[in-house]
Amino acid sequence: MFGLAPYLAAAQDRDPADIARVIESHTREIAAIYNTYLDAGLALEGTVVVKFTIARTGAVTASGVAEATTACKLFEEAVAAAVTKWDFGPAGGDAVTVRYPFTFSLPDSPAVD
């Protein structure tokens, strides 16, 4: 499966715990993407670090793969594309950019760091 790393990039105008809650609320969505690739016969493991920008409105205005170790660009881009659809709710201040690592491991395998 995959694990959510216990850290976020500093987000000066948003509480990192709030950001983490939204990300965690989408674990099934990310798991479904991962399972699609597993079902296609790809044994993917590793980390996809997604860098995304959250606007004051809560909309994600940019999202991309900052770094990855899964060796499957299509999968990595699918994870980043999913984040663009998320809503983090309105907040004061400026837009914030977050780097968040998603770690994936095969069933019955320990998480890859």
CATH number of 2-104: 3.30.2420
Q: What DSSP letter does each residue of 9-48 carry, written as one string?
A: ---TTS-HHHHHHHHHHTHHHHHHHHHHHHHTT----EEE
pLDDT tens digits, the chain, 113 residues: what are they? 454 554 454 456 788 888 989 999 999 999 999 999 999 999 999 999 999 999 999 999 999 999 999 999 999 999 999 999 999 999 988 899 999 999 999 987 555 55
Q: Domain extents for the chain? A: 2-104
- Does residue 46 contact residue 39 with C-beta atoms inside 8 Å? no
Residue 53 tokens, joined = 């920008």
The per-residue pLDDT for range 68-94, each reduced to its tens digit, is: 999 999 999 999 999 999 999 999 888
pTM as predicted: 0.86
pLDDT at 110: 59
Residues 51 and 98: beta-carbon distance below 8 Å: yes
> What's residue 27's pLDDT?
94
Take residue 37 and report the two structure tokens written for it.
């690739």
How far apart are the C-alpha atoms of 67 and 52, rounded to whole Å? 12
What the block records as the tokens of 9 is 């990039």
Position 108 scores a pLDDT of 76
